[in-house]
Amino acid sequence: MKIQNWEGVALIIGTGDIGNCLSDYLKFISPKLDVITCGRDLRNQNSIFLDLEDEDSFKAFETHLSLLSKPLRLVFNTSGFLHSNYIKPEKRLSHLKRSNIIKNFTINSIAPILIAKSIEKYIKPELFFSFSSLSARVGSISDNKIGGWYSYRASKAAQNQLLKTLSIEWRRKFPLSVVTLLHPGTCDTKLSKPYQSSVPKDKLFTTETATKYLVNIISEQKPSDTGKFIAWDRSVIPW
Ligand SMILES: NC(=O)c1ccc[n+]([C@@H]2O[C@H](COP(=O)([O-])OP(=O)(O)OC[C@H]3O[C@@H](n4cnc5c(N)ncnc54)[C@H](OP(=O)(O)O)[C@@H]3O)[C@@H](O)[C@H]2O)c1
């Protein structure tokens, strides 16, 4: 069934550039979905506060989920971390710091699987259910030709393994579920801004373009597609 006809609740985790664009687009194309944004920057009433680095925040998030009156149909994690004012992706081994590695893993690997744990009891086995999370092509170990960005790469690779494992467990528990890791392409967002100079203009997507590619992919998936790492152009990325 096309995403336009899905009925129930969609949770968009992460209120960044891709996350906000995705929430707006889903509200526009899927009027039967209640789209709820979950993150630290709440723009409207249909939002739940969630700090992915805070255990108590996950507990409060679960309490909110227990109050939902419609079934959960779609959860899409768009959160992620690459850099901050104090932390930059490592160019070489000497740049590695324990605290920076932990920050990347907390948001890019541990948070997505804890989101899955929090939502699990609200999935209805008799309904089609889509769980997607934004990974990144640089998380592919076999595609790593140029090195660098140790923590970001490794944390996305860890996310891939955690959600691949999840897809196997949920295939048994929820035969109508699909778990997908997605690479959005290089998009013009806060996260990529400092690293766009080497990207050709026609390869730098707007968030609107990336969102349409991603929604088309999840809209066409079947349960047999679960456990894949897919790029914006539908190509399967090797682990
Ligand atoms: N843009 C690209 O070219 C590109 C390419 C490949 C993959 N990706 C992936 O796509 C995803 C979305 O990135 P984006 O480009 O849209 O970047 P973005 O605008 O920086 O969005 C990332 C969001 O993650 C949220 N986040 C980080 N830590 C959090 C926390 N502790 N609790 C709650 N939310 C938290 C941030 O929230 P705050 O605003 O509250 O900090 C931010 O809004 C990321 O996973 C990224 O790795 C992006």
- Residue 15: CB within 6 Å of ligand 1? yes
> Which pTM was predicted?
0.98
* 41 Cβ below 6 A of ligand 1: yes
Residue 228 scores a pLDDT above 80: yes
Q: Each residue of 27-86: pLDDT tens digit?
A: 999 999 999 999 998 877 789 999 999 999 999 999 999 999 999 999 999 999 999 999
Residue 75's closest CA among 146, 17, 128?
128
Q: What is the pLDDT of residue 134?
A: 98
Lowest mean per-residue pLDDT among 1-5, 199-203, 219-223: 1-5
Q: How would DSSP label each residue in 210-239?
A: HHHHHHHHHHH--GGG-SEEEETTSPBPP-
Higher-scoring residue by pLDDT: 168, 198 = 168
Q: What is the mean pLDDT of the chain?
A: 96
Query: Is pLDDT at 1 greater than 90 in this prediction?
Result: no
Establish whether residue 89 lines the binding site of ligand 1, counting it when its CB lies within 6 angstroms of any ligand atom.
no
pLDDT at 42: 85
Hey, whose CA ends up nearest to atom 10 of ligand 1? 134
pLDDT category, 207, cuts 50, 70, 90? very high
With the most atoms of ligand 1 within 8 angstroms of its CB, the residue from 40, 43, 140 to mutate is: 40
Rounded to the nearest angstrom, the distance between the alpha carbon of 81 and the centre of ligand 1 is 6
- Which residue from 213, 238, 195 is spatially nearest to 132, judged by alpha carbons? 213
Amino acid at 20: N
pLDDT, average across residues 106-125: 98
Average pLDDT over residues 146-150: 97
Establish whether residue 23 lines the binding site of ligand 1, counting it when its CB lies within 6 angstroms of any ligand atom.
no
Half-sphere exposure of 219 (CA within 13 A, CB side): 15
Taking a C-beta distance cutoff of 8 angstroms, is the pair 79, 16 a contact? yes
- Can you read off the two tokens belonging to residue 195? 């690293």
Strands 129-134 and 72-77: parallel
| pLDDT in the model for residue 45 | 79
The pLDDT score that the predictor gives to residue 132 is 98
Probe target for ligand 1 pocket from 42, 54, 79, with the most ligand atoms within 8 Å of CB: 79
Q: CA angle, corner 198, sides to 194 and 203, nearest 5? A: 100
Angstrom distance (rounded) from CA 3 to CA 6: 5
Residues 6+ apart with CB under 8 A from 75: 10, 11, 13, 115, 119, 130, 131, 132
Q: Phi, psi (5° rounding) for residue 228?
A: -110, 160
Closest ligand 1 atom, residue 152 Cα:
47
